[in-house]
Structure 1
């Protein structure tokens, strides 16, 4: 049985490739870009279509939260006329489609990898729903956001209430009429809550411990300041939290309408009702931990701490920048409600925005820690011929984003080239 890839390459079942890449998002295609430059034959296997998550799992009003200049995919940096703006969904998809054309990778789409097995004496067997392939080296570019998290308490919420995860949300019109409980105040939860609020919906928001940051401070985007401060160049090995930073929730901020802060306190002043962490559903009551004040204070402390570090950088380097006062809250919850009655609240939708969990159960290789996370150093696993790319903080803050993926892909491909050279040298020596 033969199959044709997206660039016209014909592959057969049981074919052997020097490299197989799993996943055709920005991570997988960036790896393909450098493998093509190195003239290393390879195959990319994608479960759906290329860049599937960007094309199908973003809401309609979605925009980047980092400025356009940080779109630095290999050979495809942003070249538009608004480098400090924020591309919206259709513009992002257009940018990525152009990248797909430039790379022209050999992608086998709509093909599910069911198992990857390390085989002796070396190499890998890659089983798919279209047959088995073999590879000397494997790059896993399937990301780390595989299974949407919905807690077991959701099973007790009546079937009359529509439940949806953030990855399925498109717009307010998609939801049944009535009020909405958004669970989670991270980057997606905060932005979706705002989207619903702007659409005229009554929103209840169950907050968590997500931090926040300013959009603009002292005359510039905070991202610009942090870039100058080399924050985005810091490897995970030098971060104060070390590998623990990989578990951090992203700061909430938005690029919508040219970019602005997200301030949950202002949401409350505008009519959104805020709660602490959602804890349970029982007897027709949503139950919350009374930690709303703590959650808000923690987010504001992070916000001001980042700004203070920028202040110090400005002072140390004698930079001429306008003064700006630190954030001071002007709203506090009078009392924290610990319950919310489903019927009385008029809630018809619960929208879960509490993230994803990784699932690498299909990868049979002894490289995982007790939490099911792959052990690696800058994407290189202890097996030395199995690699990961595109994971959050794989190496730096930008590893899972458009800004840092190129450097990670280039590093991994150089490692792959070295492995090939070593194998060839051994073969010549034994000949």
Structure 2
């Protein structure tokens, strides 16, 4: 396949977000030549696919790109704050300026094929490359999830997915039904409340977390306690870790926790169980509102208990907190609602995404289509993943763990190239 018309590169990286460019940086340090293909522009998901009021949920000190920490090399002055969308892209752009990645923006990778004798063919919208190693850094947010029954909703009710949401003015006057209570759903809920809009919220099984607790941000306590050093191999419940939705809380206004019961009491947010079906103006919900609220609170209290135990073990002097109490309980489980009668003019889907790996012709997936790897390294020589949740630790797929993950993967790539006797240095 490789001839004078097909360029060859030791390493091809698919995806120009923080994960792919962090690997490129570590390969650059080792003198290993690589090319990065990005179908949009670098950091597109941060630059474009975030709403106007978006900010980090984790504190700025957790932004630790390779050799470019927020409060060190970047010179950030608010480590305990939460960067806004444009501040995040400023940080990312400053990182990229520290080296010169061979980055091809607005280039789609359409096919990756494993060659019988080793190596890969990478087909793109601007031509074909061959390479010895491939890194998939596209993340897991390719296809927005909307259930099939969404097509049965009356067409006069506007539907939008969170990936397209920027601010409440995009949607027509009237109430909004937000489906999903992960980090996106609850933060978009606040956007609409602040805009004076009526909000109906289909509450899913997402857990929640304290924000400030016993004098510090909860993530500070968990970091000191070693929680973020737990690997997926040593996790007491790896299935739960891999499948559980992220805990919801907010970095807005300096950081706050989100108690949906309190939002119902204080702001009139109408709460329902999980959305189950749509037909015309009829919305149907599962009778699981109480269970989902209780489960979220159980997670919240569990994190507080974990922090309490760490403080007690280490004899730390920290202020006491009152015990958690529920401010509201649902009187009944509402299983059906007429959207028109309730004044609902729009539905906003915030129930996540699915990855798209259909363009990869390499035997690295299980029966469910999920990639199989050990810290990103698959059993197929030269094929790797980066930037996925729990690649190794909780911080994988987030700013906190990308330095460690990308450094490790670059080392494995260098070892594999050396073992195969490939020329990797530019």
Task: Normalising by structure 2, report the TM-score.
Answer: 0.96
Which structure 2 segments of 5+ residues have no match? none
Q: Is 155-164 or 21-30 further displaced after alignment?
A: 155-164
Aligned 8 A contact 1:236 1:243 in 2 = no
* 2-structure distance, mates of 1:348, 1:116: 43
Q: Secondary structure of 2:133's partner?
A: strand
Q: Cα gap change, 1:384/1:242 in structure 2, threshold over 3 Å: closer, same or farther?
A: farther
* 1-structure distance, mates of 2:39, 2:261: 41
Aligned 8 A contact 1:46 1:110 in 2 = yes
Q: Which residue of 2 aligns with 1:211?
A: 207
Which structure 1 segments of 5+ residues have no match? 1-11, 427-431
Q: Which residue of 2 aligns with 1:278?
A: 275
* Count of matched residue pairs: 415
Deviation at 1:343, TM superposition (A): 1.2
Deviation at 1:290, TM superposition (A): 1.3
RMSD, matched Cα: 1.3
Q: Is 157-166 or 216-225 further displaced after alignment?
A: 157-166
Q: Cα gap change, 1:275/1:425 in structure 2, threshold over 3 Å: closer, same or farther?
A: closer
* 2-structure distance, mates of 1:180, 1:13: 55
Q: Which residue of 2 aligns with 1:53?
A: 45
Aligned with residue 91 of structure 1, among 60, 75, 87: 87
Aligned 8 A contact 1:359 1:372 in 2 = no
* 1-structure distance, mates of 2:358, 2:405: 24
Q: Which residue of 2 aligns with 1:181?
A: 177
Aligned 8 A contact 1:114 1:128 in 2 = yes
Deviation at 1:13, TM superposition (A): 6.0
Deviation at 1:284, TM superposition (A): 2.2
Q: Which residue of 2 aligns with 1:38?
A: 30
Q: Deviations over 1:63-90 (max 9, x none)?
A: 1000000000012111311110111111
Task: Normalising by structure 1, report the TM-score.
Answer: 0.94
* 2-structure distance, mates of 1:381, 1:147: 24
Q: Which residue of 1 aligns with 2:286?
A: 289
Q: Which residue of 2 aligns with 1:151?
A: 147
* 1-structure distance, mates of 2:105, 2:85: 22
Aligned with residue 248 of structure 1, among 244, 249, 272: 244
Q: Which residue of 1 aligns with 2:385?
A: 388
* 2-structure distance, mates of 1:137, 1:93: 29
Aligned 8 A contact 2:153 2:280 in 1 = no
Q: Deviations over 1:263-283 (max 9, x none)?
A: 100111121100000000125
Q: Deviations over 1:35-94 (max 9, x none)?
A: 000000111000000000000011111110000000000121113111101111111111
> After TM superposition, which residue ranges in structure 1, 4 or more long, deviate above 4 angstroms?
none
Q: Which residue of 1 aligns with 2:106?
A: 110
Deviation at 1:120, TM superposition (A): 1.8
Q: Secondary structure of 1:136's partner?
A: strand
Q: Which residue of 2 aligns with 1:261?
A: 257
Aligned with residue 141 of structure 1, among 108, 133, 137: 137
Q: Which residue of 1 aligns with 2:12?
A: 20
